[in-house]
Amino acid sequence: MHSILQDLTIEPSAEQERILVPFIQCTKDVFSMMLGWPVETVAVISDRQGAQRHDCSGILGFSGALRGSIVVSLDQEVALAATEAFLGERQDSLTAEVIDTVGELTNMIGGSSKDRLGVSGVAIGLPTIISGRNHCVSFDPRAQVEMIRFQTPHGPFTIEIAIVGLDAIPQ
């Protein structure tokens, strides 16, 4: 098992590991480098589509050799703290700056993870943001969905990865 998964209580399959390792590594890198936050991986949950409720979610689609999406979801307080770390300015609600911050975090996590999957010919779109208390995001029922729950000094957040066509990822 890859060392980055060792703190988890699950025994990931080889297929899960191929997805989880790049996304966890890139998520940690983005939060560490852009926000200065240490991030701990708390849990990985498979195939719990639509079960999570959040305040602000960034969605980034993949197309080409791999199809699917990544959703980065934060509660309002974490999103506000991330925006403050990004810009040095405190926001009181889900303002345009907060929405933009969540979009950029999603873009960086999805974009850099895509390159670490080792699949050529994968394109990313532009991030879409959903805000609204207790919303949930559903995925293509054909997709394998992995949800990773992280903890930061300012609260928890999750990323959900939904991929159709896992065969394209090299072993």
- CA-derived radius of gyration, the chain: 15
Nearer to other proteins, 14 or 126 (CB): 126
Nearest distance from C-beta of residue 30 to other proteins, angstroms? 5
Nearest distance from C-beta of residue 130 to other proteins, angstroms? 17
Residues contributing to the site for other proteins (CB under 8 A): 29-30, 33-34, 83, 86-87, 96-97, 100-101, 103-104, 107-108, 110-112, 114-115, 120, 124-126
Nearer to other proteins, 31 or 139 (CB): 31
Q: Using CA atoms in the order 106, 67, 48, 135, what is the torsion angle rounded to 10 degrees?
A: 50
Task: Please report, for residues 1, 108, 110, 115, the alpha-carbon distance to residue 33 in angstroms, rounded to integers and kept in the order given.
Answer: 25, 11, 15, 18
Nearer to other proteins, 77 or 115 (CB): 115
Nearest distance from C-beta of residue 4 to other proteins, angstroms? 17
Nearer to other proteins, 41 or 83 (CB): 83
Nearer to other proteins, 65 or 164 (CB): 65
The residue count of the chain comes to 171
Nearest distance from C-beta of residue 97 to other proteins, angstroms? 6
Nearest distance from C-beta of residue 51 to other proteins, angstroms? 28
